[in-house]
A and B are shown apart, each in its own frame.
Chain A
Amino acid sequence: MNKPGFSEEQRDCLQEIINVAMGLASDKLARFLNTFVHLQVPSIALVGAMHIPEEFENRYQDAEAALVSQGFFGNEGVRGEAIVLYQMENAHKISALLGYEAGDVSEIEMLTDISSILTTTFLNGLASQIENSLSYSAPRILSSRHGNVADVLKNTSFHWEHALKVDISYQLIDHSFNCDMILLIPGEAVSNIKNILDRILEAY
């Protein structure tokens, strides 16, 4: 059994790969929103999937939140489910930027689009650097109104062993926009990613 955590070298390597992937995703998002995005270093952490509900409970407790989930499948056991979490307050800022009214039915479609752009561009960028390629299921909204975020996360995460948390914070020119991305992945994907990171580290 491999230890679930990453070594410091593996973490640095994964962080850089994620930074590059995030750069691609931000560029796509900036083009979609027709604005400039200030990129920040995303913080990453690998945790047991069972801890995910409690980790996010506080941050999303009182607010209306939306969760968009999308499955991904690659080679060598790399597969999982990507969840993008927003506070609706943040989502409304984006919809306003795109000319939607808060509560508009199409606002949900807009959120789904943005999540899918973020998720697929990010994961494609990640996959190309670890010599993998991914396919995706259609994005689905898990919760969009006052609901219990922790319960929704519990129902989703309990199928999975590990979760790679990527804390994304985007600053648009006149707004700040925060969302969280959670990648739920099985144990074999973690071992596989670790092997790939070691291979990359050996090459340098």
Chain B
Amino acid sequence: MALPVLICDDSILARKQVRKSLPESFDAEFQTAGNGLEALAVLRSQEIGLVFLDLTMPELDGIGVLEAIKAEGIDCFVIVISADIQPEMQKRVMELGALAFVQKPVNEDKIIGVLKQYGFV
């Protein structure tokens, strides 16, 4: 069965880059969100298995989304894909429960290892 996946990034290009980085064997049904608030609206109303989450976004940033997921006990996995590569930021997202941190710009090589490690492909 296809996995419900949410791609959250304020950039259209970045959302396309995520889609293009995913292998064909990754069986998913995609939805997109342009900022953190849109992402939370989807996460609160639907079952989402996996979120690809940007950090630097208007309205609500990725940290805000991770905090809400944690606080509200929303059941989903999160892979953070960000340009904010400061070690402290990576540590923070992992502490907030993200599965992995992937540095932008994303490509198949960067993402496939993470998907394999957690059995998504």
Q: Does A9 contact B (CB under 8 A)?
A: yes
Interface of A is mostly: helix
The stretch that binds A, out of B13-21, B39-47, B112-120, is B13-21
Q: Does A41 contact B (CB under 8 A)?
A: yes
| Chain A residues whose CB sits within 8 angstroms of the CB of B109 once the complex forms | none
Supposing A12-B11, A23-B82, A30-B86 touch, asked if A204 and B16 sit within 8 A by C-beta, the answer is yes
Q: How far is the CB of A33 from chain B (nearest CB, A)?
A: 11
| Chain A residues whose CB sits within 8 angstroms of the CB of B16 once the complex forms | 204
The number of chain A residues with a CB under 8 A from chain B is 23
Taking CB atoms and an 8 Å cut-off, the chain B residues in 1-38 that contact chain A are: 10-14, 16-17, 20
Taking CB atoms and an 8 Å cut-off, the chain B residues in 68-121 that contact chain A are: 82-86, 88-89, 104-105
Q: In the assembly, what is the distance between CA of A161 and CA of B61, in Å? A: 36
- CB-based contact A20/B86 at 8 Å: no
The number of chain B residues with a CB under 8 A from chain A is 21
Which of B12, B89, B105 touches A12 (beta carbons < 8 Å)? Answer: B12
Q: Does A19 contact B (CB under 8 A)?
A: yes
Q: In the assembly, what is the distance between CA of A16 and CA of B84, in Å? A: 12
| Chain B residues whose CB sits within 8 angstroms of the CB of A129 once the complex forms | 105
Which of B57, B58, B83 touches A22 (beta carbons < 8 Å)? Answer: B83
Q: Does A182 contact B (CB under 8 A)?
A: no
Q: In the assembly, what is the distance between CA of A74 and CA of B86, in Å? A: 28
- CB-based contact B20/A204 at 8 Å: yes
Q: How far is the CB of B62 from chain A (nearest CB, A)?
A: 11
| Chain B residues whose CB sits within 8 angstroms of the CB of A19 once the complex forms | 11, 56, 83, 104
Supposing A23-B104, A41-B56, A204-B16 touch, asked if A15 and B11 sit within 8 A by C-beta, the answer is yes
Taking CB atoms and an 8 Å cut-off, the chain A residues in 145-176 that contact chain B are: none
Q: How far is the CB of B110 from chain A (nearest CB, A)?
A: 13
Q: In the assembly, what is the distance between CA of A66 and CA of B46, in Å? A: 52
- CB-based contact A36/B11 at 8 Å: no
- CB-based contact B56/A204 at 8 Å: no
- CB-based contact A20/B83 at 8 Å: yes
- CB-based contact A23/B13 at 8 Å: no
Which residue in chain A gives the minimum CB-CB distance to B106?
A20
Supposing A19-B56, A204-B20 touch, asked if A12 and B13 sit within 8 A by C-beta, the answer is yes
Q: In the assembly, what is the distance between CA of A13 and CA of B105, in Å? A: 12
Q: Which 7 A-B pairs have the closest CB atoms?
A: A23-B83, A16-B11, A204-B16, A20-B83, A16-B13, A13-B13, A39-B84
Which B positions have Cβ atoms within 8 angstroms of A?
10-14, 16-17, 20, 55-58, 82-86, 88-89, 104-105
Which A positions have Cβ atoms within 8 angstroms of B?
9, 12-13, 15-16, 19-24, 26-27, 30, 36-37, 39-41, 129, 200-201, 204
Question: What are 10 A-to-B residue pairs whose CB atoms are below 8 Å?
Answer: A16-B14, A19-B56, A22-B83, A24-B83, A24-B85, A26-B86, A27-B84, A37-B86, A40-B56, A204-B16
Q: Supply 19 further A-B pairs (C-beta < 8 A) apart from A19-B83, A23-B56, A204-B17.
A: A9-B12, A12-B11, A13-B13, A15-B11, A16-B11, A16-B13, A19-B56, A20-B104, A21-B83, A23-B104, A26-B84, A36-B86, A36-B89, A39-B83, A41-B56, A41-B58, A200-B13, A204-B13, A204-B16
